[in-house]
Amino acid sequence: MNNLPSLISIEAFISVAETGAFKDGARRLNLTPSAASKAVTRLEETLGVKLIHRTTRSVSLTPEGERYLEGAKRLIADALALGAEVSDTASDPVGRLTVSAPAAFGRMCLVPALDAFHREWPQVEIELWLDDRAVDLAGDAVDIAIRAGALSDRANLIARRVFDDQLVLCASPDYWDLHGMPEHPDDLAKHDCLNFRNRRTGRVMQWHFTQDGEVVSKTYEGSVTIDDGESVGRAARAGLGVSQMPSFMAAEGIKRGKLVEALEEFRPPPTPFTALYLDRRLVSPRIRVFIDFILQAQSKWDCKT
């Protein structure tokens, strides 16, 4: 391969591959079918491999084409992102900002804060992904990801600690009046424990405590298991059982007397919430101002229960 493929050839290949036809792929790029076909042919000649099987009515990808498509989409996304960064680094924040965050945290903390952010930066459009999975920032074209817990993949990423959240064990006052409060984590075996099932892994989350200076993880039986963390908290407030939940979920209920904490002396270490973005020489103003904003807003989420 003597020459690098042109971006227009790569874009033409992506468009044809995604639409399944040269006519439709060309229309997306405002090209003629003949121009799109020639662009893909030039790309194949440059790479020295056949990417597309052509028929009279449709096209299909070769195995090499399928592999190239995935990388080509990332390449175009990175090129567009770099162009946006270069063009707006010296200007006011403007444009779309894609933010990924854990579902319950996003609904309860980020969404209420967006109004204040938009008042300050009205030209920034937020696309918020509420998902408990760990997204691939480059592959998924995400600008900022907020993650809870230890980080397993920090390569090529900038990490900013936002706040620390404390897991707390809670139930409604009526539940404690009826069943009594536990004095030790082992006592929870006699209680109706509300469990959370992680949708991504399918596993029921363990409960964590500090005992004799060490963190121990336990599982308990219960009559209700829910795959939505916020709903587990609501079930606890409704008196259905005991829940171990993040303090940002429990703080309002505790303040209003709808939840009462137990086993405070057995709390596990706090859970860090971290904002991640790609390590680039030029960081978009959209990213900078949003990171600064959530660092200022974190005092409302760092619940001192």
Judged against a pLDDT cut of 50, whether residue 1 lies above it is answered with: no
Most confident of 107-111, 122-126, 265-269: 265-269
Q: Are residues 178 and 230 in the same domain?
A: yes
Res 118: pLDDT = 92
Residue at a domain's end among 71, 88, 105: 88
Residue at a domain's end among 66, 88, 110: 88
Q: Are residues 243 and 172 in the same domain?
A: yes
pLDDT, averaged across the chain: 87
Residue 70's Cβ-count burial label (10 Å; 0-12, 13-18, 19+) is exposed
- Paired sense of beta strands 124-130 and 95-101, if any: parallel
- CATH number for the domain including 74? 1.10.10.10
Res 2: pLDDT = 53
- CATH number for the domain including 251? 3.40.190.290
Is 158 a member of any domain?
A: no
Single-letter amino acid, residue 134: A
**What average pLDDT score do residues 191-209 get?**
90
Q: Are residues 116 and 246 in the same domain?
A: no
Is 31 a member of any domain?
A: yes
Residue 154: how many other CB atoms lie within 10 Å: 11
Q: Are residues 78 and 49 in the same domain?
A: yes
Q: Which residue do the tokens 């592959």 mark?
A: 139
Judged against a pLDDT cut of 70, whether residue 193 lies above it is answered with: yes
**What average pLDDT score do residues 126-153 get?**
84
Res 85: pLDDT = 58
Residue at a domain's end among 42, 62, 88: 88
Q: How many domains is the chain built from?
A: 3
Judged against a pLDDT cut of 90, whether residue 244 lies above it is answered with: yes
Is 120 a member of any domain?
A: yes
Q: Are residues 287 and 215 in the same domain?
A: no
Q: Using 50, 70 and 90 to split pLDDT, how confident is the model at 304?
A: very low
Domain encompassing residue 191: 167-266
Is 161 a member of any domain?
A: no
Q: Using 50, 70 and 90 to split pLDDT, how confident is the model at 167?
A: very high
Calpha distance 92→71 (Å, rounded): 31
Q: Are residues 66 and 210 in the same domain?
A: no
Q: Are residues 186 and 257 in the same domain?
A: yes
Express each pLDDT in 61-91 by its tens digit. 999 999 999 888 888 877 776 666 565 555 6
Judged against a pLDDT cut of 60, whether residue 241 lies above it is answered with: yes
Is 200 a member of any domain?
A: yes
- Paired sense of beta strands 52-54 and 59-61, if any: antiparallel
Calpha distance 39→42 (Å, rounded): 5
Name the DSSP letter for residue 168.
E
Q: Are residues 245 and 284 in the same domain?
A: no
Res 42: pLDDT = 92
- CATH number for the domain including 276? 3.40.190.10
Is 46 a member of any domain?
A: yes
In the chain, % of residues over pLDDT 70: 91
Is 159 a member of any domain?
A: no
- Tell me the β-bridge partners of 243: 170
Is 157 a member of any domain?
A: no
